[in-house]
Structures are given as structure tokens and as C-alpha cells.
Amino acid sequence: MAPETSTQIHNIGYRSYEGARLGRAYARKSLYSQSLRGAYGLGRSAKSKVLPMILFAVMCVPALIIVAVAIAVPGSTELPIKYTTYALTTQVIIGLYLASQAPQTVSRDLRFKTVPLYFSRPIERVDYVVAKYAAMASALFVLTATPLLIMYIGSLLAKFDFGDQTKGFGQGIVSVLLLSLLFAGLGLVMAALTPRRGFGVAAVIAMLLIPYGAVSTVQAVAYGTGKAGAIEWLGLFSPITLIDGVQTAFLGATTAFPGGEGVSAGVGVVYLLVVLALIAGSYAALMARYRKAGL
């Protein structure tokens, strides 16, 4: 035996590929999972994991505290806050997360002109937009639903009423699902406007903060001047107050509007329609955005 032959490096030349080609649906699914993982920095550099992971942790800590308090305080029969209130009180964290991750989800491909490489492959514009939108919405859903799950599990451990808790948890999940779809759509549209990541971050923060600030100020003025009837209509003009309105009308939530002037079921229908229209509009805007972004 000549052992040295085993160390030889053979140039085996070019090998053609005869295996499976899984096509569009597979490519779309791969893009979705890659984007979703990317939204938490997985599969990216260590540096890009820092912010999303910190925000995720910050998002979960209050839920753990709530559970701990509920279990520790003797005689308590329910959680100190409702499931539907959680996203409203943590909206700053959700906003920061969206502002940091929506631009990375879409503007990297625009900035580095990678988009043509996607569209020169089997996937089409609709696959790309659907995959990116779904990934961003899923990432937000993971962020907003995990604390609710912690609270739910905690409440069951504390032996609170199972029926009540399940109903509340379900309402919270529906609410954050709607919130995830709405925020992801608006965030991606803002981020896709510019290939510059910094502008994207600023645009998303502006989109969330400025309308909210304006709406709550005008609502407060309306409340103070005794025009309480206007409050429920004013809430239509900012993303988070839209979610507040929908869940107050349909999901048994307690509103954060001034004076507790929540949205009635009738006006709630308008809120719901506006939310759905914004989701559909975001999708259409993204489709239009990528019409020209091809080759």
C-alpha cells in the first residue's frame, strides 16, 4: 500500500447538477425563512443580533414581572393588566424594533442592488413582496405574542380561571396579529422608499411617532374642551390608536384614549376597515415599488 496516494488532491473537474429544482414555492419559502431569521440577526453578523435580541428581551421582561407578581401576591384572581393592553404600553419597543429591522429586511437588497439577482431567478415580484411582508409580520408577531404567551402560561400556573384567561389570551393574539400585519406593511413601505438604511429608520420612527403624538394631543384638547365625541374619530389617524380602536370595539380591550372614551362597535367597523385598507394598500405600494426595481 502507498499511503501517500490518499493525500492526493484530485481535480474532479466540473460536475453538472442533475438533482431536484424545487421552483418558485420553495424559493419563496426560503426567502421568507431567511428574512425572518435575519430580522432577529440569525445568519448575520454577531453585531446585527444585538439590537433585535435586546429589544426582544426588553419586550418579555415586563411579562415575566407581571407573572411573578400575580403568582406571588396571595389571593389574586387575574393578571394585573389585560392581554390586549400589553402591546399598547410597549409600543415604543415595538416601534424601535420595526424601525431597526424593516430597513434591514428591504433596503439592503435595494441599496446593494441585489434585487435583480432575485428577479433573474424563478421567483417573481409577488413572491418577493409576499415573502418579505410575511417575514416582517411574523417577526413582529413573535415579538408581540411571546410576552402574551408568557403571561398566559403564568396565569395557568397561578391557577387563574382557565376560560377567562384563554379568552383574554385569544383576544390579545388576534389584536397583535392585526398589529403585526399593519405595522409590518407600513414599516416596509417606509423603508422601501429609500435604499439608505438611516433614512429608513428615521422614516419608520416618524411614521409611528408623529401621527401618534398629533392624535393624542388633539384628543387631549378635544377632551379638555368637552368635545368628547371627536375623540373616537381622531384615533383613525395613527397606527397604534387604530389598533386601540379595533380591540376596544371588538376584543374587549380597555382603551388608552383620554377619559376612557373608547370606540363604539359602530365606529369600530370603520376602524377595522381602515386597518384592512392600510394592510392592502401597503401590499399594493410594495408591489408598485418593485415594479421598477428589477433589472
Partner 1 sequence: MTVIATESLSKRYPRVTALDRLSLDIGPGVTGLVGANGAGKSTLIKILLGLSPATEGRAAVLGLDVATHGSAIRERVGYMPEHDCLPPDVSATEFVVHMARMSGLPPEAARERTADTLRHVGLYEERYRPIGGYSTGMKQRVKLAQALVHDPQLVLLDEPTNGLDPVGRDEMLGLIRRVWTDFGISVLVTSHLLGELERTCDHVVVVDGGKLLRSSSTSDFTQTTTTLAVEVTDSDTHPDGTAALRRALALAGVTLHDSDEQGLPGAGHILLVEATGEATYDTVRDTVAQLGLGLVRMEQRRHHIAEVFRDHDRGRLAQQQDAAAWQTTPQQSAQPHYVQKGAGTDGA
Footprint (CB under 8 A) of partner 1, residues 242-271: none
10 binds partner 1 (CB under 8 A): no
DSSP code string of 64-95: HHHHHHHHHSTT--S-SS-HHHHHHHTHHHHH
122 binds partner 1 (CB under 8 A): yes
121 binds partner 1 (CB under 8 A): yes
How many residues does this entry show for the chain?
295
Total residues contacting partner 1 by CB under 8 A comes to 36
- Helix and strand element counts for the chain (H, E): 11, 0
Map residue 221 onto helix, strand or coil: helix
Those residues whose C-beta lies under 8 Å from the C-beta of residue 26, and which sit 6 or more positions away, are: none
Query: Which one, 3 or 15, has the nearer CB to partner 1?
Result: 15
Give the count of alpha carbons within 13 A of 37, CB side only.
10
Work out how close the CB of 8 gets to partner 1 at its nearest, in angstroms, rounded to a whole number.
16
Q: Which of 9, 15, 75, 292 binds partner 1 (CB under 8 A)?
A: 15
Q: Which of 54, 73, 116, 206 binds partner 1 (CB under 8 A)?
A: 116
126 binds partner 1 (CB under 8 A): no
112 binds partner 1 (CB under 8 A): yes
Stretch that binds partner 1, among 44-52, 79-87, 169-177, 238-246 (CB under 8 A): 44-52
Q: How far apart are the first and last CA of the chain?
A: 57
Q: Which of 1, 20, 46, 72 binds partner 1 (CB under 8 A)?
A: 20
Left, alpha or beta for 21 (phi > 0: left; psi -120 to 50: alpha)?
beta
Query: Which one, 82 or 197, has the nearer CB to partner 1?
Result: 197
Q: Which of 53, 54, 57, 114 binds partner 1 (CB under 8 A)?
A: 114
117 binds partner 1 (CB under 8 A): yes
227 binds partner 1 (CB under 8 A): no
Answer yes or no: are the C-beta atoms of 137 and 180 closer than 8 Å. yes
Query: Of 274, 187, 189, whose CA–CA distance to 237 is shortest?
Result: 274
Query: Of 160, 144, 129, whose CA–CA distance to 31 is shortest?
Result: 129
Summarize as ranges the residues that interact with partner 1 (CB under 8 A). Answer: 13-17, 19-24, 26-27, 30-31, 34, 43-45, 48, 108-109, 112-114, 116-124, 294-295
